[in-house]
Chain A
């Protein structure tokens, strides 16, 4: 587009949090803000009075949810394995399902399983990072 945020907007501010972006827009402090779609949707359930004063004017393509990562050389550690087992096993227990419901997530899966089911979810992010790198 050849346009930069600093010149397109009369002013840009940081709010140090996705929820604060929604608050700033809802209160009229700023005219627009960009927010994680997952956060906006989660807020629309938990604090509908915040999101109902905002309007979504543009959506990005689907992008992957931030992954839970561990260093490659520590992937075999018992602690990492135990965390992985706990996360992927959440739907299997009552407490796990309650935790997932609170987070408004369906569940956690291994990287191989996610890629085979949904394709490369992080390709879009990688493409943007490449754009920034140019």
Chain B
């Protein structure tokens, strides 16, 4: 029950709490009114009983002393007839010996019977109360005459009207309070809901339509300068800042991609430039010896090889930058393309590459080609930078328990702290660090992949694991 309450939204819980408070206050107020009514009734009843007893004491004193039974009886009868509202049901008077002298109903309380039987269930005047279950209460009082007790008076009072009044008051209070608390609680509920509407609006916008925070529209913004209005404004500012930040991150990722591309293109320029000298030589030879078929064929073959190489290099470069690739699945050719792409960079640094792709590595993997190509390119370029001149680089791809595992190795000095932060955490970007490592992390997050860093036998190893077919449905 409590847990269920705790799970209710604040905009329901607070109004409910308010309503409950009103009901509680109503109940306490009713209780107080009933108590006060009871006190007033009891005081009235005691006053009445005291007047009755005192009046009888004055009238009966001498008669009791004289033991004049008839006069006592006659006086009691007259007093009973005059009794207001027939409240006095029975009065019995006893002398000092505790024997009844007379009672208004002699058949019930015969003359000379012991008053004790009657007095046993009676209460003294000061304890008299109408708040009992019986409709008739019995009170006993001493009969005082000229300063001394000459006997006792027992009186039965009918309090059913007082009890009925109490019940009536109780019902009126219950009905009135139920109505009043109902109305107040309802108004309070509505009022609080209205006051808390900005909170509901805020909560709704915080989760948004797709689970992302959305700014609150101007129409729904709370008015005035209250804390809720300020809260909403601060929230909107925060959402705007978050949007700006993610835009900056996107731009940064794009820049990192371009940096990688820039480096590649300079390598590619070398790659194209290097064979150009040979190709131009071949063209010169063709022009010089057009009549020597052996030389022409040889030069033509040389030209063709060089041009084919240039075509391949151009093709993979174009491929890498074609946006349509996003929807294409990863195939073995993609891995070969990357190998071709980084080859010039590595040759430039005089590095050796150990390339190992298991035959069935991609058999089960239904993964998008573009992001994985980007990841491979960035990590291999990074390994190349780390390994330095004449270093060693390794790449391994294999399937492992439904996962595609890609490993990138280099014999460089190990990753700097800045590079580590970029690759392994979402913390703010420190200055410096590896090439496009944060982009690798972002891409892996989108793919739902994992990354681990290890150092063994003088080699740095970055392991990327991708759940095979995870993106298949989306692709």
Contact = CB atoms under 8 A, between A and B. Distances in A.
Interface of A: 10-11, 13-16, 20, 24, 27-30
Interface of B: 68-71, 73-74, 77, 102, 105-107, 110-112
B112 A28 contact: no
A24 B112 contact: no
A11 B112 contact: yes
20 contacts: A10-B112, A11-B69, A11-B111, A11-B112, A13-B68, A13-B69, A13-B70, A16-B71, A20-B70, A20-B74, A24-B70, A27-B73, A27-B77, A28-B106, A28-B110, A29-B69, A29-B70, A29-B73, A29-B102, A29-B111
Given A10-B112, A11-B112, A29-B111, A16 B106 contact: no
A53 to B, nearest CB: 11
B70 to A, nearest CB: 4
Contacts of A13: 68-70
Nearest to B73: A29
A15 B107 contact: no
Contacts of A11: 69, 111-112
A24 B106 CA distance: 9
Contacts of B69: 11, 13, 29
Given A29-B102, A29-B106, A14 B70 contact: yes
Contacts of A16: 70-71
A27 B106 contact: yes
A103 B110 CA distance: 35
Contacts of A20: 70, 74
Contacts of A24: 70, 73
Contacts of B74: 20
Which of B102, B105, B107, B111 has the largest count of A CB atoms less than 10 A from its CB? Answer: B111
A15 B435 CA distance: 131
A27 to B, nearest CB: 6
A116 to B, nearest CB: 42
Contacts of B110: 28
A27 B111 CA distance: 12
Nearest to A30: B111
B66 to A, nearest CB: 11
Contacts of B107: 28
Contacts of B71: 16
Which of A13, A15, A27, A30 has the largest count of B CB atoms less than 10 A from its CB? Answer: A13
A14 B72 CA distance: 12
A16 B75 CA distance: 14
B120 to A, nearest CB: 23
A28 B108 CA distance: 9
